[in-house]
Structure 1
Amino acid sequence: MSRPLIIGLTGSIGMGKSTVAAMFEAAGVPVFDADAEVRAMQGPGGELLPAIEAAFPGSTGPNGVDRDRLGGEVFGDSEALARLEAIVHPAVARKREAFLIEHAGAPLVVFDIPLLFEKGGAEAVDRIVVVSAGAEQQRERVLARPGMTAEKFSHILSLQVPDAEKRDRADHVIDTGTSLAETEDAVLALIGELRATASDRRRDTP
């Protein structure tokens, strides 16, 4: 049975991945946003709250996960981070499978996965699209975020595969160092190319 062409969309912090994901969605391509799913599962009444509270007592409340408190517990602590990921990642995988079933008839779908390379998800997608921009632009964008510091930014970068390596491993690169209109043109051209690939593949599937 044929299934959609699965596009893995990724990019380092501040590269504009969310903007590009929104462009895919606006063009009618179903997008699975891993971060949004996590936020929902950690929000008020979220299904992950009991397990997170058990592993990190005092980190949840009526409004869901206290992100600052939980972040403080796992920041720089690889063992604590691994405990959290063991709760979150299987739940996200289940949501992703349900999304794929829901959109089984679509020619292509996008998995918006920030840590696609870092967490070994690259093998689960058919094409990898990396969103990228210049290092100075990236730094300016990230440091403009509320609560962000140069130290936090450096730490996040240290946990991510370098942008140059991501670009090397990508099937397609979307440059967000240009105007929004130019980026959107590039995204629409890529969607056309990917839809053609998906169509060819479905024809070849017995």
Structure 2
Amino acid sequence: MSFDLGLTGSIGMGKSTTARMFADEGCDLWDADAAVHRLYAPGGAAVAPLAQEFPDAIRDGCVDRAALRDAIAKDPDNLARIEAIVHPLVAQDRAEFRTRARAEIRVYDIPLLFETGGEAEMDAVACVWVAPEIQRARVLARGTMSAEQFERILSKQMPSDEKRARADFQIETDTLDHARQQVQDVIRQIKTRQAHA
């Protein structure tokens, strides 16, 4: 019997690195961001429906994320229109993964898990976290966004403390070794729980 573990955490908390650790331990991994990239790529399932609604957002047969962001900046109502197209396709991609996955533990890397109510589909949720000053330093060190953009993203996400309080497991990503130990501990706990189910 498979176990579905949702993995979430705010921007810059180390979620992608932690997700790879679960995969290294033999878990099957589904990545929400990677699913969106597949849907937006040439021939992806989101290209045609988004082209109908936002023709300016299609470049070279794929969805231009910057153009979608511009459309949202011009009219915030466009976000709901985009989500109405993309979210069902992401859900379908996740369902297909669920039927293909063979590992005992299936991990779902979903940044906005709680914000979208996705925890209802999971057997448990693990939240990655780190001190706010480390989070901020990590994000700004990437050089891909300004402090203002970082604050804007944070304002749209559920506060990290609230995510941690709602999660079944917490994984602090202050160091790689510490994070890996906690990932292994979460897997042990799940396997013990499965053995007694």
Unaligned runs of 5+ in 2: none
Structure 1: 5+ residue stretches without partners: 202-206
The match for 1:113 is: 110
Per the alignment, residue 173 of structure 1 pairs with: 170
- Which of 99, 102, 116 aligns to 1:101? It is 99
Residue 59, structure 1, aligned to residue 57, structure 2: yes
Residue deviations 1:44-72 (CA, integer Å, cap 9, x gap): 22121111111112111215111212122
Q: Deviations over 1:72-131 (max 9, x none)?
A: 22248431111111111101111111111112x532211111100111111111101000
Q: Distance in 2 between matches of 1:5 and 1:32?
A: 13
Q: Quote the offset at 1:146 in angstroms.
A: 3.5
Structure 1 distance, partners of 2:153, 2:61, is: 26
State the AA in 2 paired with 1:108. Answer: I
Tell me the secondary structure at the aligned position of residue 55 of structure 2: coil
Structure 1 residue 144 and structure 2 residue 141: aligned? yes
What is the alpha-carbon root mean square deviation over aligned residues?
1.5
- Whether the 8 Å CA contact 1:107–1:199 is kept in 2: the answer is no
C-alpha distance in 2 between matches for 1:49 and 1:14: 29
4+ aligned runs moved over 3 Å, structure 1: 75-78
Provide the residue aligned with 1:39 in structure 2: 37
Distance 1:14 1:20 in 2: 12
1: CA distance between counterparts of 2:61 and 2:176?
Answer: 35
Normalised by the size of structure 1, how large is the TM-score? 0.90
2:86 counterpart residue number: 88
**How many residues were matched structurally?**
197
Is the contact made by 1:107 and 1:198 (CA closer than 8 Å) also made in structure 2? no
What TM-score do you get using the length of structure 2 for normalisation? Answer: 0.94
The one-letter amino acid paired with 2:149 is K
1:191 to 2:190 alignment: no
3-state DSSP class of the match of 1:58?
helix
Q: Specify the alignment match of 1:200 in structure 2.
A: 196
Cα deviations by residue, 1:145-164 (Å, 9 ceiling, x for unpaired): 23301111111111100001
In structure 2, give the amino acid aligned to 1:50: A
